[in-house]
Structure 1
Amino acid sequence: MVQKARKLVLLIILLGSGIFTYAQNNVIDEIIWVVGDEAILKSDVEKIRLGMLSRGERIDGDPYCLIPEQLAVQKLFLDQAKIDSIDVPVSVVNSGLSRYENNVIANLGSKEKAEEYLGATMTQLREEWRDQIRNDYLVSEVKKNLVGKKTNLTPSEVRKYYAQLPKDSLPYVPTMVEVQIITNEPIIPLKEIDQVKDRLRDYTNRINAGTADLATLAIMYSEDPGSAPNGGELGFMGRGELMPEFASVAFSLSDPKKVSNIVETEYGFHIIQLIERRGDRANFRHILIRPKVSADEMNRAKLRLDSIASDIRAEKFAFEDAVAFISFDKDTRKNNGLMVNRKESTNYGTPRFTMEELPTEIGKMVNTMKVGDISPAFTMKQNNGKDVVAIIKLKTKTEGHIANVSDDYQTLKEIVEGKKHEELLKKWLQTKIKDTYIRIDQDWVNCDFQYPDWIKQDQANKKLN
C-alpha cells in the first residue's frame, strides 16, 4: 500500500508537469489521465488510434475522447483481474497474436509497411500486441465473472422484447452451421525427425564455434513466420505465455552466449537463446524447424480417412464412434468431434459458426454439403502450423433469415442477455469509478464521456489537491 501511494504521488506530480522526461530533459511523452495508480499516456492513445486505422477499423467520434475513456475502463477491469487472480492461457495469446499480426500486415500491404506506418519493429509491435491480447482476455474474463448467472431470463421476457421491436429493426440471423470433425496426422518417418535434429545440432555447433549467430540463421532457416524475419526474437514474455516444454528450457538459460538443447513442442523442434531478462519476463530468440510430411504419407492418410468416411456412410459405425477411436483433434475428441466457436460472445464457446467464422478449408467443404453428409478427406493447416487430414460431418444448418421467436429463441435470448449484461457492467463501472482516484489533464476533459463520473471524480480530486 505504501508503494502504491508513492507511485500515485509521483503520477500526480508528473501529471501536473504534463510531461515525462529523460534526464537530458528531452520531452518524450505526456501523462493525460491517472486512474487509480496507473497512468494513461498520450502515446498510448496514439498507438491505439494508428492500430485501429492499420486494421481498417472505423472510429466513430473523436479518438482523443473515445480512446482515453476506453483505456480508463480497461484499467478498472484489469485492476479487478488482479484481485480475481485470473490467468491467461498461452494458446489464447499465441493464436490471437497470429491473427492480429496477419490482419495488420494484410491491411497495410507488407511487414515493412506496417513497421514504417506504426513506427516500430515487428518485434516491438508483437510485444505490444501480446500485452494487448492478454489484457483483452483478462477484461473478457472479468466481465464474465461479474455478470455470471445474474440474468435468468424467462421466455416471456424474450417474447416481450421481440414484440416491442419495429418490423424494420428485426435482427437478421446469418446462416449458421454445426460441424463435427475427425483429424488424422500423417506419419512422419523417424529418418525425417533425425534429419531435423541434425540440422539444429549443426546450427548449434556453428553458433557455439562463433562462425554464425542464431539471429542470422533464424532469418535464413527458421519456420516460425512470426519471429523469423526478426532474427527469431520473440519479445519479452512470462513463463505462462510460452508452451510449457519451451518455457521449461528457455527459463533455465542464464548465459546469452549459450544455445539450448533441442526442444520439441507441438509446433516442431526448436533451439533457443536467451537475449535478456527483466524480472519474471524474458526475451528469447529461437529457430523452429518442422519435420516435413511426404506427399506419399499425406495420400496414405487421406486414403485411411476416405475409407473411414465410406464405412460411416455405409452405417458400419457412427461418426461419433470413429471420433473416439481415431481422431487426433484434442479439442474435439471428447466432444463427439463437435467443433467449438471460441469467438467473443455472451454465449462463449458456442458450437454454432457462421460460414465466415469457419476455417477456410472447412468452409469450402461445408458450402457444398447437406445436413448429415460426410465429406471426402481433405488437407488443412492447424493453428500450430501442422498439416493434417480431416473429414467432417455437417450436423446442423440453419439458413439466413429475419429472426422470429419460434425459430430463433436462443438468438433473441442472447441479444436480451447481452443488453442485461451491459446494464450490469455499466452499474459496476459507475460504482468502481466513484471508488477510484481519477485525474485528467485539463486539455483532455472537454469530452462528452460515456461515464460523466470521470469528470466529477477529477474535479473532486483537484479540489483536494
Structure 2
Amino acid sequence: MRLKIMTLKFTTPNSLLLALILFCIQTIVLGQEVVVVDSTGVVKENTMITEVSAAVKGNDTTLPFKRYKAEGVSAVIGEYVILDSDIDKSYVELQSTGVSIEDITRCELMGKLMEDKLYLHQAKQDSIMISDAEVNPQVDQLIQYMVSEIGSEDKVVKYYRKETMAELRKDLFQAKKDIELANRMQAKVVENVEVTPEEVRTFFYSIPEDERPFFSAEVEVAQIVIEPSITEEAKENVIERLNQMREDVLENGSSFATKAVLYSKDPGSASRGGLYPGIKRNGPMAKEFKDQAFSLLEGEISEPFETDFGFHILTVDKIRGQEVDVRHVLLFPEVSQDVIDKAAAKMDSIKGLITSGELTFAEAARRFSDEKETRNNGGQLINPTTFDTRFDLTKMDPTLSAQVYNLKEGEVSKVYTDRDRTGRSKFKILTITKRDEEHPADYVKDYEKIQELALKQKKIKAIETWQKEKIDETYVNVNEDYQSCEFIGNWLKK
C-alpha cells in the first residue's frame, strides 16, 4: 500500500501524539546506537545510524531500506535540513504506531518530510505565530503522561538520553511547536475552500456508476442504564477504612505508598504507590481531587473525600511552585448482591413496559435511566468521533457493535450487564432508533457525505496548486541519492 504523501489531517489523534512528538526529538535511540544532532541541525562527526531492525522487528533484518550514514544530508528546503537519519526515524515512528512499513519506500517518506518542511518554511514567511502559552500546556501534559508511564522525571530523562528535564522539555517544545505550525499552515491553505451544490453534483456524476463508493451501514442508538444504588452504610464503611489507613500512617508511621500498593483500586497509580506527579490547578484531574491537593502542606494527609471515581485519601509528597506531587488511595463502596438483584429486576420491569407499548423507549429513558448524559435526550447516544448521533457499524466500539449489530429498527435488546470504571455492575438495554444498511452512494440520500468527499477533493487540489507554487519559489536542494525518485511534487524542479 502506498503511503499517502498528501494529507488533510489538521489534528493528530491522541493515541498517536506521543509517537509523533517523541520521534521529532533530535536525539533518538535506534538499535544500540544514538544519533546526536547539534544546534545547527547537523549530525556530529563519526555518528552512524544503525539499521532499526533490532528496535522494531526483533531478529528480522529484512527492512525496506539499507544502512545509511547519519551525517548525510538528504535535502534542504528553505532553511530546513532533512537528514538520512530523519527518514530512518520515520520508519520507526510509523511502525511504533502500527503501520506496516514493508511497502513504504524511502522516496515516499522523503516526499512527506519535504512537504512538512515546506509548511514550516512558509509558515515563517507568512508570519504565522504560535505563542509559548499555547504550546507549554501541551508539553506539560505530554511530560505528565510520560512520567506516569515510566515512573519518574529522572527515569524519563534517562530513558531519552538527556542530561536534564529542561533539555528534554526544550526538545519536546520545539517538536510540538513545529507540528502545530505545519498544521496551521496547511489549514490556512484550505481555509477558504468551499464547494457549491453544482460542484457537488458535477463531482458525483463524474464518477462512473460502477466506481461509486459504498457507504457502510449506519445506526442511531439509544440506551437506558440502571445502576445499583450505593447505601449510606456502604459509604460509611469505606470512609471508616480510609480513616483507619490515615490514622495508621499518622500515628504509627506506616507508609502511605505501601497502603496505596496494597489497597488502592486506582489501576493508574496503585503500582507506583498512588503517585501522581506534577498535578496542576488547571489539569485534567477531578475538581475535588485538585482542591485537596492544593490545600495541603507537604506531608499532610487529607480527610476522606468523594469524587465521581470513588472515595480517596490524599497526601502531598512535594510542592514545586504551581505543581504538586501527590499520592492517593482510592476505594469503592461495596454493593450488596441484594441491591444488585433489585436493580436487575427494575430493568426487567422497564423493558416490559416498553415491549408492551405502555411507554416508548425515549419516555422510559427520561423517567428511569440513571445515565445523566443521555437521559434527557431519550437515551440517544452521541458518536464521540463525529459528535452526531450516527454510528458507522464498521467503526463502532466492538462491544457496542456486538450488542446492536443484529437489532432491527425499534427492537429492544436483551438486558446487558456492564461494569463502570469502579468495577460496579450496571444494567442496560439498547434500541436502534434509525438504521441505514450498507448501500452504494445515492446522490439524494447521501448528499452530505458526497459533499464532504467533493470538498476533500477540492482541498487536495488546492494544496497541490499551493505546493507547486511554493516549491518553485523556495530554495530546494535534493541529494543525488534521491534524484531518481518519482515525487508527487516537483521537488527536483525538472
| Counterpart contact for 1:162–1:412, Cα < 8 Å | yes
Aligned residue number for residue 357 of structure 2 = 315
| Counterpart contact for 1:183–1:388, Cα < 8 Å | yes
Q: Give 1:389 shift.
A: 1.8
Aligned residue number for residue 325 of structure 1 = 367
- Give me the whole-angstrom Cα distance separating, in 2, the residues matched to 1:424 and 1:266: 48
- Give me the whole-angstrom Cα distance separating, in 2, the residues matched to 1:431 and 1:452: 10
| Counterpart contact for 2:381–2:389, Cα < 8 Å | yes
What are the within-5 Å matches in structure 2 for residues 96-115 of structure 1?
A: none
| Counterpart contact for 2:116–2:182, Cα < 8 Å | no
What are the within-5 Å matches in structure 2 for residues 361-440 of structure 1?
A: 361-382=399-420, 387-420=425-458
Aligned residue number for residue 198 of structure 2 = 156
Deviations for 1:77-96, whole angstroms, at most 9, x for unmatched residues?
Answer: 9x86759979999xxx99xx
| Counterpart contact for 1:204–1:259, Cα < 8 Å | yes
What TM-score, normalized to structure 2? Answer: 0.61
Aligned residue number for residue 266 of structure 1 = 308
| Counterpart contact for 2:317–2:324, Cα < 8 Å | yes
| Counterpart contact for 1:81–1:142, Cα < 8 Å | no
What TM-score, normalized to structure 1? Answer: 0.64
Deviations for 1:325-345, whole angstroms, at most 9, x for unmatched residues?
Answer: 3222232233332111111xx
AA of the residue aligned to 2:447: Y
CA separation of 1:352/1:160 partners in 2, compared to 1, >3 Å: closer, same or farther?
Answer: same
Q: Please point out which of 224, 232, 237 is paired with 1:182.
A: 224
Identity of counterpart residues, as a percentage? Answer: 26
Q: What is the SS of the residue equivalent to 1:253?
A: coil
Aligned residue number for residue 247 of structure 1 = 290
- Give me the whole-angstrom Cα distance separating, in 2, the residues matched to 1:326 and 1:213: 45
Aligned residue number for residue 5 of structure 1 = none
- Give me the whole-angstrom Cα distance separating, in 2, the residues matched to 1:261 and 1:49: 51
- Give me the whole-angstrom Cα distance separating, in 1, the residues matched to 2:300 and 2:468: 53
- Give me the whole-angstrom Cα distance separating, in 1, the residues matched to 2:437 and 2:402: 16
Aligned residue number for residue 14 of structure 1 = 39
Q: What is the SS of the residue equivalent to 2:417?
A: strand
| Counterpart contact for 1:173–1:400, Cα < 8 Å | yes
Q: Give 1:349 shift.
A: 0.7
Structure 2: gaps of 5 or more residues: 1-36, 45-70
What are the within-5 Å matches in structure 2 for residues 66-465 of structure 1?
A: 82=131, 153-167=195-209, 169-209=211-251, 211-238=253-280, 239-255=282-298, 257-343=299-385, 348-382=386-420, 387-420=425-458
Structure 1: gaps of 5 or more residues: 1-11, 20-29, 102-110, 456-465
Q: Give 1:305 shift.
A: 2.0
| Counterpart contact for 1:200–1:271, Cα < 8 Å | yes
Deviations for 1:25-73, whole angstroms, at most 9, x for unmatched residues?
Answer: xxxxx9x99x9xxxx9999999986565344233545498588779877
CA separation of 1:271/1:378 partners in 2, compared to 1, >3 Å: closer, same or farther?
Answer: same
CA separation of 1:422/1:229 partners in 2, compared to 1, >3 Å: closer, same or farther?
Answer: farther
Q: Give 1:390 shift.
A: 1.5
Q: Give 1:317 shift.
A: 2.5
Tell me the matched-pair count: 397
- Give me the whole-angstrom Cα distance separating, in 2, the residues matched to 1:340 and 1:218: 36
| Counterpart contact for 1:69–1:449, Cα < 8 Å | no
CA separation of 1:432/1:303 partners in 2, compared to 1, >3 Å: closer, same or farther?
Answer: farther
- Give me the whole-angstrom Cα distance separating, in 1, the residues matched to 2:406 and 2:442: 27
Deviations for 1:122-179, whole angstroms, at most 9, x for unmatched residues?
Answer: xx9xx99x99xx99x9999979997999565444322322222345643232221110
Greater radius of gyration (CA):
2
Deviations for 1:214-240, whole angstroms, at most 9, x for unmatched residues?
Answer: 333222222222222233233434333
- Give me the whole-angstrom Cα distance separating, in 2, the residues matched to 1:192 and 1:186: 12
